Each structure stands twice: as C-alpha cells, then as structure tokens.
Structure 1
Amino acid sequence: MANVTIWHNPRCSKSRNAAALLEEKGVEAEVVKYLDTPPSKEELKAVLKMLDISARELMRTKEAIYKELNLKEETDEEKLIEAMVENPKLIERPIVIKDGKAAIGRPIENIIDLLD
C-alpha cells in the first residue's frame, strides 16, 4: 500500500477513530504526534495545498489560544500559518496524507474516500 501519514492527537476521539480505521483497513501509517512534533511551515503549506483550503479553514477556531492571539481579525495567510506552527493545538485533526493528497478526518468518511 502507498505511504500514509496521519497527524494524530491520541487525546482526541476523532483522531483515535481515524487511527483505528487505518488499522482496520490494514494500512500501516506513519503516526506523527503533531503536538509533540509540530509541522514546519513548509510541511503545513504543503498540506494546505493538498487539502486545497486556506489556513483559516484548517484552524480550530474554538481553541482558547485562537481567541488569545486575536486570530479572528488576522487576514494574512502567512501569519495564520505561523500561528499554527507555533501553536499546533490550532491545527484541525486528524489529517491523513496519502499519495500527495490529504483529508481531514471530520467526518471520518473523508479518510475513507482518500484511502479508496
């Protein structure tokens, strides 16, 4: 099977469900605990391109740090990306990457579509 990576937060039920789905389907994925090993700016930009979404669309806007950093008012894409690199808790999860494509596992059907 193709190389598969999951940006995973073991404390998140959606992320655990995505990891279980990969295991169920026999997919050996590289697990990146992105809170412990945050993506670089370049990695984040590459994933945004694969997802074909803006930085804001990848952000967890209900996190306290989002409000603390006043990101709702921020319009500069680069600054939003930098905020996620510096505060990986802001990154929506889980993200599964396969063959140059990516999917956010909310809903989990996105991952099923990516794998098929």
Structure 2
Amino acid sequence: MAESLFLQYPKCSTCRNAKKWLEAQGAEFEDRNIALQPPTKEELRDVLNKSGLDIKKLFNTSGQKYRELGLKDKLKTMSEEEMLDLLSSDGMLVKRPIFVHGGKATVGFKEAEFERVLS
C-alpha cells in the first residue's frame, strides 16, 4: 500500500475539494475511485484503528444505497464483521473521501482533520 491512500468518488464535489487541497499541500498519495475499487475489509479495519472512529461513521448515510437497503435500522443489530463485509462489498456505501497517511486516518473532508493526518 502507498504511504498515503486517498479513497474518493470523482463525481463527489467534497472529494474533488479534498483532492485539490492535498495537491496544494504537495502531498503524494495513491488515488483510488471508491466505486470502482472499494476498500477491502483490512483497509476499512485499518481506517477504523487509525481514525478512532466508530464503525457506523464509515457509512455514507446520505447515499441512495444506504436508504435502499434500509441500513438505518439494520445496523443496530449487525456485528462489526457484518458491517465490514457490507462496506467492502460496495464503495458507494462508504463515506468519502477517506485519507490514510502514516499512522492516521480521517473520513469526510475537514481541512483541519486532513492537516492533522498529514502532520
């Protein structure tokens, strides 16, 4: 895996802004389209460990797929393994962008968080 991994969806304006921000900082990263190449269970577990986030924060709750599958209620009874299986099966279920650098990771785009991960 590259030193830094940037998982994003090209049609997502937040992802485009995050990518512009990273490029402006001169950051080098592996850029992956989350829809074409969803993160693996191991990558998702790594993001959880490095970000300290709750697994539910990895879900794209505003996505069409999330609503179609009725996940708001289903997640309450799912195990972490089941959630990781589901997230790794479809990149559109995953909140984006995801940025992993060194021992840190962040989900979604907040400049301050990206700065923290890059430092």
Within 5 Å, give how 1:54-69 maps onto structure 2.
Answer: 54-69=54-69
1:54 CA displacement: 2.1
1:109 maps to which residue? 112
> TM-score under structure 1 normalisation?
0.87
Paired-residue identity, %: 34
Contact 1:84 1:90 in 2 (8 A): yes
Query: Quick check: 59-68 or 91-100, which moved more?
Result: 59-68
| Residue deviations 1:46-99 (CA, integer Å, cap 9, x gap) | 111111122211111122211222211223222222221112111111111111
1:85 maps to which residue? 88
3-state SS, counterpart of residue 66 of structure 1? helix
2:31 maps to which residue? 31
1:25 CA displacement: 1.0
Contact 2:47 2:106 in 1 (8 A): no
3-state SS, counterpart of residue 106 of structure 2? strand
Counting matched residue pairs gives 115
Q: Report the AA paired with residue 109 of structure 2.
A: R
3-state SS, counterpart of residue 31 of structure 1? strand
1:19 CA displacement: 0.9
1:11 maps to which residue? 11
| Residue deviations 1:19-46 (CA, integer Å, cap 9, x gap) | 1111111111111112111111121111
Q: Which residues of structure 1 form unaligned runs of 5+?
A: none
1:106 CA displacement: 2.7
Computed over aligned residues only, the root mean square deviation of the Cα atoms, in angstroms, reads: 1.7
Q: Which residues of structure 2 form unaligned runs of 5+?
A: none
Query: Quick check: 38-47 or 70-79, which moved more?
Result: 70-79
Q: Following the alignment from structure 2 to structure 1, what is the Cα–Cα distance between the partners of residues 96 and 111?
A: 11
Contact 2:18 2:109 in 1 (8 A): no
Q: Following the alignment from structure 2 to structure 1, what is the Cα–Cα distance between the partners of residues 25 and 57?
A: 28
